[in-house]
Every structure is written in C-alpha cells, then in structure tokens.
Amino acid sequence: MVAGVLFERGLLRGTEKQDAVKAPIREEADCILQIVGQEMGLDVHSSCFQMQFEEIEFGPPREVTPSFEAEYGIWRRGQNSMLPQQGDRWYIDRGSATLVVKEHAPCRLDNKAVEASMRALALAFRLSCFGEGGRRGLGCFNVRAYGRHKSLFEEEFAVLIKRTVAAVDAVVNRTVSRCRVSRREVSPCGLPPMPALSTTRRYDACIKDAILAPYMLFSVRKVRREDLYSFFSQQKTRSFCSDFYSNEKEMPKTWIINGVSRRPPPLMLSISGNTAHLSVFVSADWPLKWQRNQIGELDILAATARVLREFINYVEKLGGEVKMLWPEQQRAET
C-alpha cells in the first residue's frame, strides 16, 4: 500500500540493477520501511499491535497422496516445483482459529494510522491465504470479524481498496518529507520497482487490447475449485515452458505463473465459499536477462496480459465467469 502511494507521487521509481529490470534504490526502500514500521506501527520490534491465535481447532492431518497432488496442482521438486519437497507432506482439510488483534497501551499512533494498518490487514486476510500453496488457493479461510473494525471485513473490495489507499495516503502525506527521496517522473509504461497497489496508473496504451494496471483484482465464479487449481498444474506449466524452447523471449510468461529463483509469482488466488479472487501485481522486479535476451518492462506487461487472457479463456470455457473488480472497467484516456 505504501509503495503504491509513493509510486503515484513519483517517489518510487527504482533503477536498473545487474540482476533486476528495476529495483528500489536504497533511499526509496528506507522510506517505505520508515513509514510502515514507525508511522503505521508495524515494526516487529516496537509494534503497537499484538496478534495472537487462540482457540485453534484443526482436524487430523492427512498425508499428501499422488491423487491429491494431481487434483490440487502440487508438484514435487524436479517437476517445475511450486512447493518444495521435504519428505512426507501432510495437509488439513478443515479447521478454525480465533485471531485476536490488540493495540498495546499506551500506543502513540493516532486513529488515522491505526485505520490504515487495520485496513491493510483486512485486505491481506481477505485476498490471501496461509501456508505452502497459499498463492494458489490452498490454506484459505472464511473470515468473520468482530469489534470496532468489523466493517472493514465486510466492505466491497473496490470501496475497501479506495478507502485503504486514502488512509495510507494520509499517513504518507504527513511523513514523507522526512524521507530522503526526490520526485522523479515515471514514463507512461514504467512499472513500479516492487509490487505496489497503485490506484491511478494504467497501461492500456502500452499493450494492445489489454487492460493492465500495477494491481488488478478479479472475481471468479461458477468454476470448481479443482478446475482453478488445475490452471496452475504441471500440464499447464509444461505447455508454457515449451514456448520457451521455441522462443526465449517467452520465458517471462512462465515467471508470471511460477515465479523464478526467490521471486514468487505475482498471482495470488484466494477462495472463499463459491467465489474466488485473483490478485495480480505488475512490477519490474524480475531478472534483467535470460540467456541471450534482455528483459524489459514491455516484456513483463505483454507476458502478464497473455497469462490473464489464458486464465480468462480457461475459466470461460468451463462455463465460469470472470469479472474485473479493480481497476474499474473503463479505458483510460489516451
């Protein structure tokens, strides 16, 4: 959230690095850490918040079988592994837990900072999952909230995103002057150097017939969970990898699906009830070169657009529905 606000203000541009298309410069990274840790009270050593799980009730663990792997798209090492193999693996198919979030007393944060932090927490809980495979729709929980921040877990996503950005922007506005960063213009097709929830930047004019933004959110309905998992399965990845051998410039497409090295994929699938949500982050923190080719920001945009088209076509062929919740579906003026 903070990165998105700084990016929109021209205060997070990044620079090309030896191993990355772009990465934040040290002053930009320090600014983000200062705002998140000190101004929003989320520093691990001096946090104003305490989070503790209580009343955990999980069923007995079950061993991961080959049929489970096939059904849920979990791969072992040596097979374009999405999840590392560490001996026998187990899963729990049902469970519940109570998470209590408390503010330490006294806490120096004002109401705006607390609101920004709690809104960011609400987005995280509602749009991401826990554990291995959490980006692929495993480890998801239905969330029921209580207390004075309950409404944050019930707002429509477009409303929640707008209000969260506004709350974070208010915190950044009063503190950014203490950061040692200067404003720099970003090219129309320039990407943030790290995942950022930006609300105004659009890349419609950069890639033909594609609606792209630094952050996108889709809802998916009328599709079985198993079919959603299958999109990320071994067969799908192998088909993408086969493109690479015929054209090395296609490699960024496989990165979007599976990540590369220590960089996780920018797709986050969460499933709750009969609806799934897919979050997509578009940023430039990817390897600068692959084999003989240099990767650029337009390559990343094009790869993301192709993956999204693949996903939407896949869901629609199964009779499902995909709706873009963010950004709103109207083309930016050119």
224 and 105, same structural domain?
A: no
Number of domains forming the structure of the chain: 2
Would 6 be classed as within a structural domain?
yes
Would 209 be classed as within a structural domain?
no
Binning pLDDT at 50, 70 and 90, where does residue 316 land? Answer: very high
Task: Tell me how crowded residue 101 is: count the other CB atoms within 10 A of its CB.
Answer: 14
19 and 138, same structural domain?
A: yes
State both tokens at 86. Answer: 């560490």
Q: Which of 178, 206, 236 delimits the end of a domain?
A: 178
104 and 35, same structural domain?
A: yes
Measure the CA–CA gap between 195 and 163, rounded to whole angstroms. Answer: 19
Q: What is the pLDDT of residue 245?
A: 45
10 and 157, same structural domain?
A: yes
Report which of 198, 190, 194 is spatially closest to residue 296, judged by C-alpha positions: 190
Beta strands 275-281 and 267-272 are antiparallel
Q: What is the pLDDT of residue 9?
A: 95
127 and 228, same structural domain?
A: no
Which residue carries 């952050």 as its tokens? Answer: 215
Would 316 be classed as within a structural domain?
yes
Beta strands 62-63 and 90-91 are antiparallel
Would 205 be classed as within a structural domain?
no
Per-residue model confidence as pLDDT tens digits over 108-121: 888 889 899 999 99
Task: Tell me how crowded residue 238 is: count the other CB atoms within 10 A of its CB.
Answer: 12
Would 307 be classed as within a structural domain?
yes
Q: Which of 178, 206, 233 delimits the end of a domain?
A: 178
164 and 21, same structural domain?
A: yes
pTM for the full predicted model:
0.89
Q: Which of 128, 157, 178 delimits the end of a domain?
A: 178
Give Cβ neighbours of residue 233 (< 8 Å, ≥ 6 apart): 70, 73, 75
22 and 103, same structural domain?
A: yes
Per-residue model confidence as pLDDT tens digits over 127-180: 999 887 889 899 999 999 999 899 999 999 999 999 999 999 999 999 899 999
* Cβ-contact 19, 71 below 8 angstroms: no
> By residue range, what is the domain housing residue 224?
215-326
Mark residue 283 as left, alpha or beta (left: phi above 0; alpha: psi -120 to 50; beta: remaining).
Answer: beta
Here the CATH number for the domain that contains residue 278 is 3.30.70
